[in-house]
Amino acid sequence: MGKDLGYDINGIKKVVSHGEYFGDSLGQFALNSITVLAGQLTYFYTNKIGMAAATAGTVLLVAKIVDAVTDLFMGKIVDRTETKRGKARPWLLWMIAPTMLAIILLFTIPHASDGAMAGYGVLTNIFASAICYTAIAVPYYTMISYKTKSGEEAGKFGTYRSAVGYSVGIAIGIGLIPITNMLGGDQRAWIIIACVFAAISGIGLYIAYKTSKERYVETGAAQEKEKNVSIIDGLKILVHNKYWLKITGVGVAINIMYAMIMAAPVYYALYVLGNDNMVSLINTVNIIPSILGFMTTGYLLKKFGLTKTARLACVIGIFGAAVRCFFPGNLMVTLVFGSVVMYATIPLISCLPAMVLRTSEVNMKTAGVRITGMTNASNSFAGKIGSGLGGAAIGWILAFGGFDAAAAVQTSAVTTAVYAINIYIPLAMFILAFVILMKYDLDEKYETLVEENTVAEPVEA
């Protein structure tokens, strides 16, 4: 018998140990290594390989569109997976080698014509994101529902995962440009860094696999009914779930904002501050609000619940980004209020997986199946669409401003474009997420919904 962990605020039994939280969170190394390194591809393509900015943006968006579609198929695959190791958990083991290879291939693009580079870029991005990321992320997010029924514990999984994810993001943000410059600043230097993160990702996936426990997998009649739901029928169920639609919209907005926060500062450092190594200072300062975010998110979740915590985070983000609008070129304002924005992202990213998970109970109420895999695929789906649009927008907006990586001096229009991708668009995304969340009331109905679904579920003969 394990230690009695008591009950959460909704009276649901808590079952997860600190060791499982920690081990589970290391799976995030692979996901964030792919997304954050891929987020740097616009700069890598334009300033290291010589690809046109608009082409770079299009490459990333095309890959993400393909990528987003595969999420829903992967959700269905997870719903049908049955092994002795579990339903979602085995995928962490199976994807170790492909993921390590995919991370390295992102940076092996040949020096060739724009068309050839674009084709190679699309293919390697599809392999990394549409195949490897998807085959990890969908079961990884779905696995939370198999680990615990407690909203508090689900939120805590999100917090632990976010902490590791942000650690990867901050490590890349602080070290990538200075270290690759130290190693020569060429393509070879970027490949070396990719190899390091590939190895760390493989180790993280293995530990997450070994330490995870699936406790609440559907069995009997409920499982058979779920397995027989086609992808088309599953999509019909999801699009009639207003809470799924709303939280997916929030996820897209958050991930557009996050993609820009992580990838755009290098252009700010180079073309506003005059030195791309300054991005290391910006990201180093952001460590402080990140730590504060992880220290306070658990308290906010206990006090306010998932949705109110997410709304509060949006308000904080709106405030920080709005102040930057008045002083867009000021380094001190960038450091201080950029930190406020960074703090706001922590509760949002932490809450999102648990909020998506809860919408599966609405499916159970309205359609008699949770289709947990397909439902949770929306978390990955939103991330792909959001990060794809965010990454593509960086290239497109720079191109619209007349950006030329080879030019000794950039125009004022380019400076405005740099401000847009660093400040104005993230502000708009915070506002959009807040507006949607103000119309999101599932938290108030969730406990009753779980009780009704528990009574209604068919009992195995």
Spatial separation of the C-alpha atoms in residues 221 and 207, rounded to whole Å: 33
- Which residues does residue 86 pair with via DSSP β-bridges, in sequence order? 83
Topology of the domain covering 18-213+221-456: Growth Hormone; Chain: A; (1.20.1250)
Q: Which residue has the tokens 């690809």?
A: 51
Q: What is the three-class DSSP state of 386?
A: helix
pLDDT tens per residue, range 408-434: 788 899 999 999 999 999 999 999 999
3-state secondary structure 390-443: HHHHHHHHHHHCCCCCCCCCCCHHHHHHHHHHHHHHHHHHHHHHHHHHCCCCHH
Tell me which residue of 268, 276, 259 sits closest to 176, measured CA to CA. 276
Report the pLDDT value the prediction gives residue 459, as an integer from 0 to 100.
43
Report the pLDDT value the prediction gives residue 1, as an integer from 0 to 100.
45
- Label residue 380 by pLDDT band (50, 70, 90): low
Report the pLDDT value the prediction gives residue 396, as an integer from 0 to 100.
87
Report the pLDDT value the prediction gives residue 228, as an integer from 0 to 100.
75
Report the pLDDT value the prediction gives residue 87, as an integer from 0 to 100.
87
pLDDT tens per residue, range 111-137: 888 788 889 999 999 999 889 998 998
The pLDDT of residue 207 is above 90: yes
The pLDDT of residue 59 is above 90: no
Report the pLDDT value the prediction gives residue 29, as an integer from 0 to 100.
93
Cβ 86 vs Cβ 214: under 8 Å: yes
C-beta atoms surrounding 408 within 10 Å:
5
Q: Which of 31-40, 173-182, 339-348: highest mean pLDDT?
A: 339-348
Mean pLDDT, the chain, rounded, equals 86
Q: What is the three-class DSSP state of 13?
A: strand
Spatial separation of the C-alpha atoms in residues 379 and 355, rounded to whole Å: 9
Report the pLDDT value the prediction gives residue 9, as an integer from 0 to 100.
64
Report the pLDDT value the prediction gives residue 410, as an integer from 0 to 100.
83
Residue 83 phi/psi, 5-degree rounding, is -140, 170
- Label residue 220 by pLDDT band (50, 70, 90): low
Mean pLDDT for 362-381 is: 79
Mean pLDDT for 140-168 is: 82
- Which residues does residue 83 pair with via DSSP β-bridges, in sequence order? 86
- Label residue 83 by pLDDT band (50, 70, 90): confident
Tell me which residue of 6, 4, 121 sits closest to 58, measured CA to CA. 121
Question: What proportion of the chain, given as a percentage, has pLDDT over 70?
Answer: 94
Cβ 315 vs Cβ 267: under 8 Å: no
Name the region of 111 (left: φ>0; alpha: ψ -120 to 50; beta: rest): beta
Q: Any idea what the Cα angle at residue 245 is, between residues 38 and 303, rounded to 5°?
A: 85
Q: Which residue has the higher pLDDT, 231 or 171?
A: 171
The pLDDT of residue 458 is above 60: no
Report the pLDDT value the prediction gives residue 52, as an integer from 0 to 100.
84
Cβ 136 vs Cβ 34: under 8 Å: no
Domain positions in the chain are 18-213+221-456
C-beta atoms surrounding 206 within 10 Å:
15
Two structure tokens written together for 339: 């930190």
pLDDT tens per residue, range 189-203: 999 999 999 999 999
Question: What proportion of the chain, given as a percentage, has pLDDT over 90?
Answer: 36
Report the pLDDT value the prediction gives residue 320, as an integer from 0 to 100.
96
- Label residue 50 by pLDDT band (50, 70, 90): confident
- Which residues does residue 7 pair with via DSSP β-bridges, in sequence order? 13
Mean pLDDT for 274-297 is: 86
Spatial separation of the C-alpha atoms in residues 350 and 347, rounded to whole Å: 5
Report the pLDDT value the prediction gives residue 379, as an integer from 0 to 100.
64
- Label residue 13 by pLDDT band (50, 70, 90): confident
Spatial separation of the C-alpha atoms in residues 376 and 276, rounded to whole Å: 38
Half-sphere exposure at residue 105, Cβ-oriented, CA atoms within 13 angstroms: 17
Cβ 313 vs Cβ 355: under 8 Å: no
Report the pLDDT value the prediction gives residue 321, as an integer from 0 to 100.
96
Q: Which of 3-7, 142-146, 251-255: highest mean pLDDT?
A: 251-255
- Label residue 407 by pLDDT band (50, 70, 90): confident
Report the pLDDT value the prediction gives residue 208, as an integer from 0 to 100.
95
